Amino acid sequence: MTGGVAGRYASALFELALERNQLDQVDQDLGKFHALLDGSEDLSRLVRSPAFSAEEQERALGAVMDWAAVGATTSNFLKVVARNRRLFAAKDMVKTYRSMLASHRGEVVAEVKSAVELSDSQLAALTDKLKASFGKDVRLDVQVEPSLLGGLVVKIGSRLIDSSLRTKLTNLKVVLKGAG
């Protein structure tokens, strides 16, 4: 789980947060950063593009982290990542950190993709259903993906549950082509 660039950096951040008793704070800060990445094409371009120098990335990221009120531990971590030219793996670092945190707490992580934003009651019902199925506390990592058209795609470990409208329409198309 801690292989590769993202794994090594996430592991270092996890150990630092554990040592400083800031696991939840770092998780919240990483959530803010992840949301900012998803919501800003400019920030995504800054993170992914090798055209920006390490200094430019670090300076811009520092300004964004200050604006978003991200804590010092997470902000400094992301600046080190930028300085080391590893920002391209930031999303994977967040994902790996959250998996490590869930494992530390005895939880499983469910990656949930939905066509629309789910309400609190829908999230609670989904959490309860998954907890009953897997026998462990479940931590949801929810992403909105309009291309699904409707329904959900839930991934826990190697198990994938795809009840999206897009998949159902694709399957129907295959069946109809075969019937002709």
Domain extents in the chain: 4-100, 107-179
What's the CATH number for 4-100? 1.10.520.20
How many CB atoms neighbour CB 47 within 10 A? 23
DSSP 105-162: HTEEEEEEEESSPPPHHHHHHHHHHHHHHHSSEEEEEEEE-GGG-SSEEEEETTEEEE
- The residues, ordered by sequence, that sit 6+ positions from 22 with a Cβ below 8 Å of its Cβ are 71, 73
Looking at residues 150-165, what average pLDDT do you find? Answer: 91
The answer to whether the CB of 166 falls within 8 A of the CB of 145 is no
- Please give the share of the chain, as a percent, with pLDDT higher than 90: 63
Please give the backbone phi and psi of residue 35, each rounded to the nearest 5 degrees, phi first: -65, -40
pLDDT in tens, 93-113: 998 999 899 889 988 889 999
Q: Identify the residue with better confidence: 178 or 65.
A: 65
* Residue 122 pLDDT grade (very low, low, confident, very high; cuts 50, 70, 90): very high
Q: Which residues contact 127 (CB under 8 A, 6 or more apart)?
A: 138, 140
| 136-165 average pLDDT score | 90
Calpha distance 165→143 (Å, rounded): 16
Instruction: Please tell us whether the domain made up of 107-179 is placed in CATH 3.30.300.
Output: no
Does residue 1 have a pLDDT over 50? Answer: no
Residue 2 has pLDDT above 70, yes or no: no
Q: State how far Cα 79 lies from the chain centre.
A: 19
- pLDDT at position 177: 87
Residue 19 to residue 29: CA distance in whole angstroms? 17
pLDDT tier, 157 (very low <50, low <70, confident <90, very high otherwise): confident
Q: Return the pLDDT at 179.
A: 65
Average pLDDT, integer, range 75-83:
94
CA gap 112, 84 in Å, rounded: 31
What letter would DSSP give residue 165? H
- Residues 110-120: what's their mean pLDDT? 92
Q: What is the mean pLDDT of the chain?
A: 90
Provide φ and ψ at 40, rounded to 5°. Answer: -130, 115
Structure confidence at residue 3 (pLDDT): 67
Degrees, nearest 5: CA angle 34-89-115:
45
Which SS3 state, helix, strand or coil, does residue 62 take? Answer: helix
Return the H-helix or E-strand segment holding 113.
strand 107-114
Written as six digits, the tokens of 61 are 């990221």
CA separation for the pair 15, 21 (Å, rounded): 10
